[in-house]
Amino acid sequence: MSSFKGKVAIIGIGEVPTGKFPERPCLQNGIEAARMAILDAGINKDEIDVVMPTGVFSDGVLNVQLVAGKMVEELGLQRKAKANLQVFSGGSSSSTMLMTACSLVAGGHARMVLCVQCDKVGTIPTQQMIDMFTFSGDPEWEDPYGFFAVANGGLVATRYMHETRTTAEQLASVVVSMRKWAALNPNAMLRRELTIDEILASKMIATPLTTKEANVFADGGAAFIVANAAIAMQVCRTPVYPLGFGSRVTHYSLSQCTNLLDLGYAESGKEAFEMAGINATDVDIVEFYDAYPVYPLLSLEGLGFCKKGEAGAFVQAGNTWPGGELPMTTNGGMLGQGHTAAGGGIAILVEAVRQLMGKAGERQVKGARIAVETSHGGTFMDSHVCVLGTVLP
Amino acid sequence: MSAYVKPLPSPSSYSFPFWEGCKRHELLIQHCKNCGANIFYPKLYCSICLSPNMEWIRVSGRGRIYTFTIVYGYAPTAFTQDIPYVISVVKLDEGVQLMSNIVECEPSQLRCDMRVEVVFDDVTPEITLPRFRPIKNH
């Protein structure tokens, strides 16, 4: 596979606080995030030649507006932008946007691509939100049996715990880790640290998951700018280079996944690490997609950071916490920062870039030079792995 | 008798034989006469070889629980009155997997890989849903 290693860089990031903000219009989240990314990159906004908004779950009308170029007008990029195109794959939109933007830049079709997301799923009443996200199941083969989003995390965790003998305490320790990072993140919604006992004592939702082991929907917006590497070196003091990509789509319906413990990492991880020319021991931080606590455990094992069945003990021992050997999902993930629909994954990608740029404030991991970031869309239909670095090897 | 308010499948031009089978209390899957694959859920063409040469076969209705979750909260509105209920991915002996519910079982008795068999639930005059229960004496 041809590599865009060395040809592209991320030069700016933006993010509004994640939470419940009934007074803040959905589109405002996107405009604010885009402006912050432009200011962060220190560029003249008129240099942006492709605008790439991802999908909005909470507002179908706004979604169509963004498809039709609303963000181009909001940012005054008429006759500057060559294309306004939506790239959307649910939770993995972070990766599919980055992959598309890098391809456009490396192929010479764009110089600077603005990737932007906004949503407002936090201020919809809880029951309406649950019903809205029920569509993640198939209407003919899954919804008649009462399938819904949290059941996804429960079904995978049940099989994982059955095969690996991972304990409920170990599963809950993923949330402990996420909340410790969220406590240090001013953009996070759930900033109170939790103990394993508190997590296991909260109301059961879908076995083995309790309330505290399910992500919480939130309003938010995030953006990042991808540029030609030669331009990046001129305009940006701390460009972050995508060094390797790998990805696989493993299923559509969760029921059709024949191995729930293998999210496709054997292929996607190998491709990403090979393209980047690294192995797991070279990695300083991992920014893993969560949503539910079983997924970071599968990522730690699938990408070779832990042996099968050992990730739970690894997390419980504090290795992924602030100060730990392998800082993981340092924004607190969707279990700590909050889940802004397609933005949950974008917040994680933005955090990976923020850490590598050295802009993570109180939770900055000193000397972070290589990060591995993941994302998943739908009912974990796909696995995307991206290696990001501060220098070109 | 109160109306059934939960989501119902809308059989498609190529899935309706499955739902007709359920109405007769027969579990059907597709079998590709070209490549020999067993296919579920129903496809317009064989999803292994894209052949149109598929037939419907009746299967045993027996299999094992691949995984499950017992739902206690946050369920879709139409299901809140059923709490607790069990969602499961069942792997049939014929190799295909489907999502369904496990019934006639104390939730605390559920285990992955437990043997189960189909039981048909005539939820409306038009639609019968296949659910599964543990096989007794096994």
- What would the pLDDT profile of B7-54 be if each residue is shown by its tens digit? 999 999 999 999 999 999 999 999 999 999 999 999 999 999 999 999
Which of A136, A158, A251, A261 is the best residue to mutate to test the B interface, defined by the most B CB atoms within 10 Å of its own CB?
Answer: A158
> For residue A372, what are its two tokens?
């591995």
Do B78 and B137 share a domain, yes or no? yes
Chain-chain contact of A131 with B76 (C-beta, under 8 angstroms):
yes
Kindly state whether A147 is in contact with chain B, defined as any CB-CB distance less than 8 angstroms: yes
Q: Is A241 helix (H, G, I), strand (E, B) or coil?
A: strand
Do B65 and B55 share a domain, yes or no? no
Do B90 and B125 share a domain, yes or no? yes
Read off the pLDDT band of A4 (50, 70, 90). Answer: confident
Do B66 and B52 share a domain, yes or no? no
Residues of B in contact with A164 (CB under 8 A): none
Q: Do the domain assignments include residue B51?
A: yes
* Mean pLDDT of the A324-344 span: 96
Provide the mean pLDDT of chain A.
Answer: 95
Per the model's pLDDT, the better-predicted residue between A83 and A58 turns out to be A83
The position carrying tokens 């109405």 is B23
pLDDT tens for each residue of A118-171: 999 998 777 777 777 665 689 999 999 999 989 999 999 999 999 999 999 999
Do B132 and B99 share a domain, yes or no? yes
Smallest CA–CA distance from B103 into chain A, residue: A145
Q: Do the domain assignments include residue B6?
A: no
pLDDT tens for each residue of B58-110: 999 999 999 999 999 999 999 999 999 999 999 999 999 999 999 999 999 99
Residues of B in contact with A205 (CB under 8 A): 71-74
The enclosing domain of B114 has a CATH number of 2.40.50
- The domain of B55 spans 13-59
Chain-chain contact of B82 with A146 (C-beta, under 8 angstroms):
yes
Do B79 and B111 share a domain, yes or no? yes
Do B46 and B72 share a domain, yes or no? no
* HSE toward the beta carbon, residue B45, CA cutoff 13 A: 5
User: Has residue A251 got a pLDDT over 70?
Assistant: yes
Chain-chain contact of B99 with A145 (C-beta, under 8 angstroms):
yes
Do B33 and B68 share a domain, yes or no? no
A206 closest CB neighbour out of B11, B71, B113: B71
Question: Which amino acid appears at position A304 of this protein?
Answer: G
User: Has residue A70 got a pLDDT over 60?
Assistant: yes
Q: Do the domain assignments include residue B5?
A: no
Residues of A in contact with B66 (CB under 8 A): 159, 260
> For residue A68, what are its two tokens?
């039709």
DSSP for residue A165: -
Please tell me the distance from the alpha carbon of residue A237 to that of residue A190, in angstroms, as a whole number. 32
Residues of A in contact with B78 (CB under 8 A): 146
| B-proximal residues of A, 298-337, CB under 8 Å | none
Question: Which amino acid appears at position A163 of this protein?
Answer: E
* Mean pLDDT of the A332-347 span: 96
Q: Do the domain assignments include residue B66?
A: yes
Considering only CA atoms, which of B112, B130, B134, B108 is closest in space to residue B121? Answer: B130
Do B87 and B131 share a domain, yes or no? yes
Chain-chain contact of B76 with A134 (C-beta, under 8 angstroms):
yes
Residues of A in contact with B72 (CB under 8 A): 203-207
The pTM score is 0.96
pLDDT tens for each residue of A14-27: 999 999 999 999 99
Which of B79, B80, B89 is the best residue to mutate to test the A interface, defined by the most A CB atoms within 10 Å of its own CB?
Answer: B89
| B-proximal residues of A, 187-216, CB under 8 Å | 203-207, 209, 211, 214
pLDDT at A2: 56
Q: Do the domain assignments include residue B7?
A: no
Chain B: residues touching A (Cβ < 8 Å): 6-12, 15, 41, 66-79, 82, 85, 87-89, 97-101, 111-113, 129, 131
Domain boundary among B24, B44, B59: B59
Provide the mean pLDDT of chain B.
Answer: 96
pLDDT at A1: 45
Do B68 and B121 share a domain, yes or no? yes
B99 closest CB neighbour out of A139, A156, A255: A255
B9 closest CB neighbour out of A140, A204, A254: A140
The minimum CA-CA distance between B74 and chain A, rounded to whole Å, is 6
Strands A112-120 vs A83-84: parallel, antiparallel or unpaired: unpaired
Please tell me the distance from the alpha carbon of residue B50 to that of residue A53, in angstroms, as a whole number. 35
Do B48 and B67 share a domain, yes or no? no
CA distance readout (Å), B35 to A18, B59, B98: 51, 18, 21
Q: Do the domain assignments include residue B134?
A: yes
A147 closest CB neighbour out of B10, B99, B112: B99
Chain-chain contact of B73 with A203 (C-beta, under 8 angstroms):
yes
E strand or H helix at A96, and its extent? helix A93-106
Kindly state whether A155 is in contact with chain B, defined as any CB-CB distance less than 8 angstroms: yes
Please tell me the distance from the alpha carbon of residue A172 to that of residue A317, in angstroms, as a whole number. 12
Smallest CA–CA distance from B72 into chain A, residue: A205
Q: What is chain A's Cα-based Rg?
A: 19
Do B122 and B78 share a domain, yes or no? yes
CB burial of residue A378 (10 Å; 0-12, 13-18, 19+) = middle
Q: Please report the number of interchain residue pairs, chain A to chain B, with beta-carbon separation below 8 angstroms.
A: 112
Chain-chain contact of B129 with A145 (C-beta, under 8 angstroms):
yes
pLDDT at B58: 98
Per the model's pLDDT, the better-predicted residue between A58 and A165 turns out to be A165
Q: Do the domain assignments include residue B17?
A: yes
Residues of B in contact with A156 (CB under 8 A): 67
Question: Which amino acid appears at position A320 of this protein?
Answer: T
Please state the domain count of chain B: 2
Q: What angle do CA A385, A388, A389 make, to 5 degrees?
A: 155
pLDDT tens for each residue of A279-322: 999 999 999 999 999 999 999 999 999 999 999 999 999 999 99
Q: Do the domain assignments include residue B79?
A: yes
Residues of A in contact with B87 (CB under 8 A): 145-147, 151, 154-155, 206
